[in-house]
Amino acid sequence: QLQLRESGSGLVKPSETLSLTCAVSGGSISSGGYSWSWIRQPPGKGLEWIGYIYQSGTTFYNPSLKSRVTISVDTSKNQFSLKVSSVTAADTAVYYCARRVGSRCDIWGQGTMVTVSS
Amino acid sequence: QSVLTQPPSVSGAPGQRVTISCTGSSSNIGANYDVHWYQQLPGTAPKLLIYGHSSRPSGVPDRFSGSKSGTSASLAITGLQAEDEADYYCQSYDSSLDVWVFGGGTRLTVL
């Protein structure tokens, strides 16, 4: 059974860079037909798609975040990562990683809370 | 403000049928991009409930069904149960914004 688990810094200072990693277990991140996504959810609010990456390294980002977001993949470690630069309080959210097949996210991680505060 | 509009809340008694709408436009649902639905139980990650307008992943009860017409999609839940109390989100692609979008979410309360 494929599982995803997020990890990384839970508290980030304003203007610094948020870094998260999603470890994939129970299957290979290099399996064809999938891409690997990041989605976030501010406290008490709805879901926002951040972007996704293929095993090849090809990425697609939400235009509203594109200038600050980098998603990368490490197939040797079976994981992919998210970096968001120049963070503000508006980046405070639960961050989810998910497997994407077609245009849907069929398997999600449990999520990790990131707070931006000095 | 999402380009996919959902009612903030719906409610129903156990055993009843409820529907949740997801209203879009010609640049998303109306352009025939797939619509997916997710269920988010309190304090948990979203779970794929319906994909491709009306298909159910393995393990999702047939009490849940999806449909699409024109620029809108709907999620129907029949035989409402207390365990269905959750937030529900629709998702599609918007070609004008060039982004995958979620609806604002609908909180279902089982009375």
Task: Judge whether B110 and B11 are in contact, CB under 8 Å.
Answer: yes
Name the residue in chain B with its Cα closest to that of A94.
Answer: B45
B51 touches chain A (CB under 8 A): yes
- The residues facing B19 across adjacent strands are B76
Identify whether the C-beta of residue B106 lies closer than 8 Å to the C-beta of residue B8: yes
Assign A23 to helix, strand or coil.
strand
The shortest CB-CB distance from A49 to any of B48, B102, B105 is to B102
**For residue range B43-97, what is the model confidence (pLDDT) as tens digits?**
999 999 999 989 999 999 999 999 999 999 999 999 999 999 999 999 999 999 9
Which of B1, B9, B44, B100 has the most A C-beta neighbours within 10 Å, making it the best mutation to test the interface with A? B100
Q: Is A99:A38 a contact under the CB 8 Å cutoff?
A: no
Tell me, what's the pLDDT at B84? 97
| Pair of tokens at residue B28 | 């998303």
Nearest Cα to B41, choosing from B99, B87, B93?
Answer: B87
pLDDT digits (tens, 9 = 90+) for A41-62: 999 999 999 999 998 899 999 9
Is B102's CB within 8 Å of A102's CB?
A: no
pLDDT in the model for residue A32: 82
Rounded distance between C-alpha atoms, residue B24 and residue B4, angstroms: 5
Torsion B58-B52-B84-A38 (CA) sign: positive
